Structure 1
Amino acid sequence: MCDRHILFGVNARAVGKRIDCDDVLFVTDDPRKPIAVVHLTWKFETDPMWPVTNIFNGWQDWIENCMMKDHSDYTNCE
């Protein structure tokens, strides 16, 4: 990622990955952006908008605004 990306310089640890796409769930050391979902692009990006990253304020925020919708979308497409 480029040096203007929202997670540049933030310590992050991958804790999960969607099985149907390249979205990875990260926990960070930054209390302003504790949970992040990153859609990996598998190349060096020069645009700070890539990789696409969604920040969540904590686990409950991620559950309500990401996991539940993703689960519904995934289970309803089978």
Structure 2
Amino acid sequence: MSYETDDLPGTWYYLRDQERGRMLESELAHECGSNQHPMVGQRVEAVACCGTCDDVLFKLLDRQSWAIVHLTWRRETNPSWPSCDVMENWSEVIEEMADRGH
């Protein structure tokens, strides 16, 4: 199943603007101030955003998996922030998006 052609649930939408995607990727790197955060050092691609909150779907390029990250828009030192949920396949991504009720 190709994720690029699937409809996303709720207020989620695909990022079509590459510049905005790069900005979100940079913001993620900035926010992960703790070396213990699971996203530190990950090569990512911003794929989709939630239209009602600061959740962003990133494709983890080296692991061939996905992460939904709640950006905080500030540098964090607690490894729990920004919060993230990692999923191994696309059906888990769609389920997580729908469960968040956005």
- Structure 1 length-normalised TM: 0.81
**How far did 1:69 drift?**
2.1
What CA deviation, in whole Å up to 9, does each residue of 1:16-75 have, x standing for no partner? 1100000000001232x71000000111111100000011111111112x12223xx33x
Q: Which has the higher contact order (CA 8 A, sep 6+)?
A: 2
**Cα-Cα RMSD:** 1.4
Counterpart selection for 2:86 from 52, 55, 67: 55
SS of equivalent residue, structure 2 residue 98: helix
User: In structure 2, what is the equivalent of residue 14 of structure 1?
Assistant: 46
- The one-letter amino acid paired with 1:62 is V
- Match status 1:24 vs 2:56: yes
Query: Aligned pair count?
Result: 70
1:3 corresponds to: 35
- 2:77 corresponding residue in structure 1: 46
Q: Structure 2: 5+ residue runs without aligned partners?
A: 1-31
Identity of aligned residues (%): 37
| Structure 1 unmatched ranges of 5 or more | none
Which structure 1 residue ranges, 4+ long, deviate > 6 Å from structure 2?
Answer: none
Partner amino acid, structure 1, of 2:54: D
TM-score (norm 2): 0.63
Distance in 2 between the 1:43 and 1:68 partners? 27
